Chains A and B, each alone.
Chain A
Amino acid sequence: MTDELLVVRAQLGERAALAELLARWQVPVWTYVRRMLDADRADDVSQEIWLAVVRGLPRLRDPERFAPWLFTIARRSVTDRLRGEYSQAEERSGAADAAVEDPAEAMVDRAALVSVLSDLPVLEREILVLFYLEDLPVEECAYICRIPAGTVKSRLNRARRLLRDHLEEKGYRP
């Protein structure tokens, strides 16, 4: 069953559809939150996100765009927790984001990614999680982070570079 059908059924008031939607998306949401925050806060923030999802679901106008909407809510909860880090990162990234480089779809090894993710700055960490761990397309990452698609690509490029540097420091050979 597609997400859209589940969302429509949940919007009609079917509890079973809501439960199935939650079962389907709980781990992806948690993964995003856990990669952005520490383990202690991940469960509380996940719960907060799901509460906001349940409260907002009746007003969701485009059921087929459930995933980007869900991650927008998740991102809002995470940015609330990391407000300081985000404002610093955004100040710093202004100039660097302007240049759109070739995205060069380099493969990133998930296990290696997870192992160094927590060392990366928030903006780069966020874009890697959304693109590689959640498998969201560039357009949806752009919608969730409220930045142009070109910025997503340049941010991904920079994130991959940082990732490579960190992995090399740790002794991984790409």
Chain B
Amino acid sequence: MTDEPRLSAQDMIERLSPALSPRTRIRAVTALLAGAAGAVFVGALWWTEPGPLPGRTHLAFALFTAFCLAWAAYGGWLLTRRVPLFATDRVIAAWIGLAASLATTAVLTVVAAQRGTGVGPVLAVGGGFVAVALVLVVRAQARRAALLRRRRELSGAQPGRTS
């Protein structure tokens, strides 16, 4: 009977490193952002297209939107299920989300204004994205602040220990 784990703690950390690597996070965030922005962009183009469109163009728009949504869903799945996002990562991710929402809304508004179609719907959709992103920023900041406070309290309880 072997009574020692075959893997040392160091080996275990190394085996876990794919889940902790920044590369997986960046891939997940990129897929989510590019997918969501692409879907909104293509959706807006489709929606604001002046004049009746042939059936094939509708199909192309639908396929492209679905493709973008699939990437966004993959990114979202990676971020929520596969990649652990710790408090600081969440703050960064939320700010990236806010920046991307603002950028997408701005680009879409400019495009809609240039094409002479109404900017109202674009602003409504973009505004929705920005609002959700803002809520995520506030939540992430609050969670991180709470953890930092707890760390200070716990470190304070151990004299001579700084962390």
Contacts and interface: CB of A to CB of B under 8 A. Distances in A.
B16 A57 contact: no
A147 to B, nearest CB: 28
Contacts of B12: 22, 26, 46-47, 50
Contacts of A13: 86-89
Given A11-B147, A50-B12, A63-B150, A43 B90 contact: no
Interface residues of A, number: 32
Secondary structure call for the A interface = helix
B26 to A, nearest CB: 15
17 contacts: A5-B154, A10-B86, A11-B86, A12-B147, A13-B88, A15-B20, A22-B13, A22-B16, A26-B12, A27-B5, A34-B3, A43-B5, A43-B7, A51-B19, A55-B19, A57-B84, A57-B86
A58 B9 CA distance: 20
Nearest to A118: B1
B136 interface: no
A1 B158 contact: yes
B85 interface: yes
B6 A43 contact: yes
Contacts of B151: 5, 8-9, 12
A1 B5 CA distance: 24
A66 interface: no
Contact of A50 (B2, B16, B83): B16
A99 interface: no
